[in-house]
Amino acid sequence: MRFLHLADLHFGKSIYGTSLLENGDQGAWVDRFLALAETIRPDAVVIAGDVYDRGAPSGDAVQLLSRMLTKLSALSIPVMMCAGNHDSVQRLSFASPLLALAGVHISGSLYDDPMLSHVTLHDEHGPVTFWLMPYVFPALIAGALGDDSLRGSEEAVRALLHTQPVDFSGRNVLIAHQNVTVNGTPGEHGGSESMVGGVGQIDYTVFDGFDYVALGHIHAAYPVGREAVRYAGSPLCYHFNETRQAAKGPLLVELGAKGEAVKVETLVIPPLHPMREIRGAYEEIRDAELSDPRRGEYLRVVLTDRRVSPEIAAFFRELYQGRDSVLMELCSEFTQLSGAAGALERGDVEQKSIEDLFGDFYTERSDGTPPADADAQLLAEAGELLRRTDPHAAPTARDVERLLDYLTGQEAER
């Protein structure tokens, strides 16, 4: 059984104000992926969550997914897809019984019926059952299973999987979107999902018994705990930190007879616009870039020896515009400031509130423009939360509710 493992497509994603959908990046990737699928003809394609970048995706994002699924169906390649934390499981699973007739299988909501969707395919070694588990929110699973003792993500996933009629004497593949770790130690996070932190950690042993676990959520590709529990990573770089990872592409997974080692190979798909981060002294970067002919890139330039002046900004903008590249960020790590904007001594920092420190940082990075009143008020709310709670404790439900109420009120006023 050979199948392609994808995850974290994030259709509709924008970075630094550039839409990867409107700029052609995600459409070009889909075209290249479909050409690859047509060439190798896998037995299935599995997509492990975060299909969209937001729960209410744009029409263009929906159309891109539609084009991808329609072509795979026309190639008679079954698709198994689960919802991630960025997806709305209800929207993603719209018309799923009808789509299943065309070979497109989508995880349903677990909160009315906590039984996982599953599909069985066959090869020369017999059946392989694919189990589709959307992103698990513990409180909702506790309600669905009628067990209020389920507090954490690991407890909820263990209880959920325990209720499933999985025959572990046969071959089983689980498709899931969770923060999976080894003894509480996280793996290699990228930049675009760095907020994951310790939220919702699940030990890889939860998935013992499954012959392969196709994971999504973390944007780097690597095994977790054992070779058959794997993140596929995102198809494109969604943060400049991710340029430090190995070349990205879907995983080609080969599942042999029960008990045989799983074979995994990365099939690299080049991006339409490669991302590159450049860091160093201004004159060194300037000279190197003037002699570098590369075109059509997304770039981040970090100066280490001076501040960004209008003249420097104009130089880089004009250079990259002439090469059909996009300068997404130009910033400086140079810390020696002069005059009234001199560097704060440690004592000065300790005397300032978190709101004032943020305001100073924002104003300095925005050429003297202070943060808007709404932003300052939000920081005041967050600062107050920080001051009255244990810095080593997780926010309480009431803390989160308070911030959400504030944000909802701000949104309503707009």
Is residue 246 domain-shared with residue 286, that is, in the same domain?
no
Question: In the predicted model, is pLDDT for residue 388 greater than 60?
Answer: no
pLDDT value of position 195: 46
SS3 66: helix
Is residue 213 domain-shared with residue 281, that is, in the same domain?
no
Pairing of strands 226-231, 222-224: antiparallel
Percentage of the residues of the chain whose pLDDT score is greater than 70: 78
User: Which two tokens mark 410?
Assistant: 């701000």
User: Which two tokens mark 161?
Assistant: 């999987």
Q: Which residue has the tokens 């493992």?
A: 5
List pLDDT tens digits, range 108-160. 998 878 999 999 999 999 999 999 999 998 888 888 888 888 888 999 999 99
For the chain, the domain total comes to 2
Confidence of residue 385 (pLDDT cuts 50, 70, 90): low
Strands (E), 55-107: 79-82, 104-106
Domain end among 224, 239, 266: 266
pLDDT value of position 326: 96
Q: List beta partners, residue 265.
A: 252
* Helix intervals (H) in 19-58: 25-40
Query: Which region holds residue 24: left if phi is over 0, alpha if psi is between -120 and 50, else beta?
Result: left
User: Average of pLDDT values for 207-222?
Assistant: 96
Query: Residue 290: which domain range?
Result: 275-413
pLDDT value of position 146: 87
Residues with Cβ within 8 Å of residue 132, at least 6 apart in sequence = 80, 81, 82, 105, 106, 107, 116, 117, 118, 119, 175
Domain end among 233, 266, 299: 266
- CB atoms < 10 A from the CB of 223, how many? 17
The CATH number linked to 159 is 3.60.21.10
Q: How many CA atoms lie within 13 A of 23 on its CB side?
A: 19
Is residue 312 domain-shared with residue 402, that is, in the same domain?
yes
pLDDT value of position 149: 87
Is residue 76 domain-shared with residue 225, that is, in the same domain?
yes
List pLDDT tens digits, range 342-366. 444 444 444 556 666 676 676 666 6
Is residue 149 domain-shared with residue 287, that is, in the same domain?
no
pLDDT value of position 35: 98
pLDDT value of position 407: 56
pLDDT value of position 103: 97
Question: In the predicted model, is pLDDT for residue 391 greater than 70?
Answer: no
Q: How far, in Å, CA of 159 to CA of 173, rounded?
A: 18
Is residue 256 domain-shared with residue 285, that is, in the same domain?
no
Is residue 259 domain-shared with residue 352, that is, in the same domain?
no
SS3 254: strand
Confidence of residue 337 (pLDDT cuts 50, 70, 90): very low
Strands (E), 281-362: 298-303, 326-332
Q: How far, in Å, CA of 105 to CA of 80, rounded?
A: 5
List pLDDT tens digits, range 59-102. 999 999 999 999 999 999 999 999 999 999 999 999 999 999 99
Contact predicate 167/143, CB 8 Å = no
Is residue 166 domain-shared with residue 52, that is, in the same domain?
yes
User: Average of pLDDT values for 316-332?
Assistant: 96
SS3 271: coil
Q: How far, in Å, CA of 81 to CA of 104, rounded?
A: 8
Is residue 71 domain-shared with residue 210, that is, in the same domain?
yes
Q: Which residue has the tokens 């394609």?
A: 45
Q: How far, in Å, CA of 213 to CA of 131, rounded?
A: 9
pLDDT value of position 140: 85
User: Average of pLDDT values for 32-40?
Assistant: 98
SS3 69: helix
Is residue 225 domain-shared with residue 280, that is, in the same domain?
no
Is residue 57 domain-shared with residue 135, that is, in the same domain?
yes
Is residue 213 domain-shared with residue 332, that is, in the same domain?
no
User: Which two tokens mark 125?
Assistant: 């070694």
* Helix intervals (H) in 148-220: 153-162
Q: How far, in Å, CA of 322 to CA of 303, rounded?
A: 21
Domain end among 266, 297, 332: 266
Angle at CA 7, nearest 5°, toward 395 and 253?
130
